[in-house]
Structure 1
Amino acid sequence: MPPYADPPPAGRRVTVFSLGGTIAMTGGPGSGVVPTLTAADLVAAVPGLAGTGVTVRVHDFRRLPGASLGFDDLTALVTAARRAVDDGADGVVVTQGTDTIEETAFALDLLWPYDAPLVVTGAMRNPTLAGADGPANLLAAVTVAAAPAARRTGCLVVLGDEIHAARWVRKTHTTSPVAFRSPDVGPVGLVAEGRPRILTRPARHRLDADVRDPGTVRTAVLPVVLGDDGATLRRAGSGLDGLVVAGFGVGHVPAAAVAVLTDLAAGMPVVLASRIGAGPVLAGTYGFPGSESDLLSRGLISAGTLDCYKARILLHLLVAAGHDRGRITATFATIGAGD
Structure 2
Amino acid sequence: MDRVTSVETSTDTPHVVICTTGGTITASTVPGGAVVAGDSAAATQAMLEGLRSALPASIRVSARAVLDADSSTFGPAEWDGLVDAVADVLVDPEVAGVVVAHGTDTLEETVMALDLHHSDPRPVAVTGAQLPADHPESDGPANLLDAVLLAADPVSRGLGVLVVLGRAILQARGVRKWHTTEPVAFARNAPDQPVEGLPPELERPTLPGRARFSGTRVDVVSCPPGSDAVALRACVDAGARGLVLEGTGSGNLPPLVAEAVADLAVERPDIVVATSTRVPRGEATPTYSGPGGGADLARRGVLSCGYLRSSQARVLLAALLSLTEDGAGAASVRAQWSRYHLYS
Same structural fold, with TM-score higher than 0.5 when normalized by the shorter chain: yes
The unaligned stretches of length 5 or more in structure 2 are 1-9
Tell me the equivalent position of 1:270: 273
Q: Is the 8 A contact 1:303 1:311 kept in 2?
A: yes
Closer, same or farther in 2 for the Cα pair 1:298/1:134, shift >3 Å? Answer: same
Instruction: Give the C-alpha shift of residue 264 in structure 1.
Output: 2.8
In structure 1, what is the Cα distance between the partners aligned to 2:336 and 2:45? 39
Tell me the equivalent position of 2:225: 226
In structure 2, what is the Cα distance between the partners aligned to 1:40 and 1:130? 18
Instruction: Give the C-alpha shift of residue 48 in structure 1.
Output: 4.6
Tell me the equivalent position of 2:159: 153
Closer, same or farther in 2 for the Cα pair 1:216/1:288, shift >3 Å? Answer: same
Query: What aligned pairs does 1:182-261 form with structure 2 within 5 A after superposition?
Result: 182-184=188-190, 201-212=201-212, 214-239=213-238, 240-261=240-261
2:24 to 22, 33, 37: 22
Query: What aligned pairs does 1:103-182 form with structure 2 within 5 A after superposition?
Result: 103-182=109-188
Question: Counterpart of 2:151 in structure 1: which amino acid?
Answer: A
Which 10-residue stretch deviates more, 65-74 or 43-52?
43-52
Mapped pair 1:71 → 2:70: no
Tell me the equivalent position of 1:40: 45
Where 1:227 maps in the other structure, the secondary structure is coil
Cα deviation, 1:72-120, whole Å, max 9, x if unaligned, reads 2222222222222222211000001000111111111002231111110
Count of matched residue positions in the alignment of Structure 1 and Structure 2: 319
Closer, same or farther in 2 for the Cα pair 1:151/1:37, shift >3 Å? Answer: same
Root-mean-square deviation (CA, aligned residues, Å) is: 2.3
Q: Is the 8 A contact 2:124 2:161 kept in 1?
A: yes
Q: Is the 8 A contact 2:55 2:145 kept in 1?
A: no
Tell me the equivalent position of 2:334: 329
In structure 2, what is the Cα distance between the partners aligned to 1:237 and 1:227? 20
Instruction: Give the C-alpha shift of residue 47 in structure 1.
Output: 6.6
Question: Counterpart of 2:283 in structure 1: which amino acid?
Answer: P
Tell me the equivalent position of 2:3: none
TM-score, normalised by the number of residues in structure 2: 0.86
Instruction: Give the C-alpha shift of residue 30 in structure 1.
Output: 7.7
Tell me the equivalent position of 2:300: 298
Closer, same or farther in 2 for the Cα pair 1:271/1:75, shift >3 Å? Answer: same
Tell me the equivalent position of 1:191: none
Q: Is the 8 A contact 2:191 2:282 kept in 1?
A: no
In structure 1, what is the Cα distance between the partners aligned to 2:111 and 2:242? 21
Question: Counterpart of 2:48 in structure 1: which amino acid?
Answer: V
Q: Is the 8 A contact 1:18 1:62 kept in 2?
A: yes
Identity of aligned residues (%): 33
Instruction: Give the C-alpha shift of residue 242 in structure 1.
Output: 1.0
Question: Counterpart of 2:237 in structure 1: which amino acid?
Answer: S
TM-score, normalised by the number of residues in structure 1: 0.87
Which 10-residue stretch deviates more, 39-48 or 273-282?
39-48
Cα deviation, 1:159-204, whole Å, max 9, x if unaligned, reads 1121100102211111111121113358x9xxxxxxxxxx973522
Instruction: Give the C-alpha shift of residue 274 in structure 1.
Output: 1.5
Cα deviation, 1:112-169, whole Å, max 9, x if unaligned, reads 2311111100000112223100000000000111111111111100011211001022
Q: Is the 8 A contact 1:16 1:56 kept in 2?
A: yes
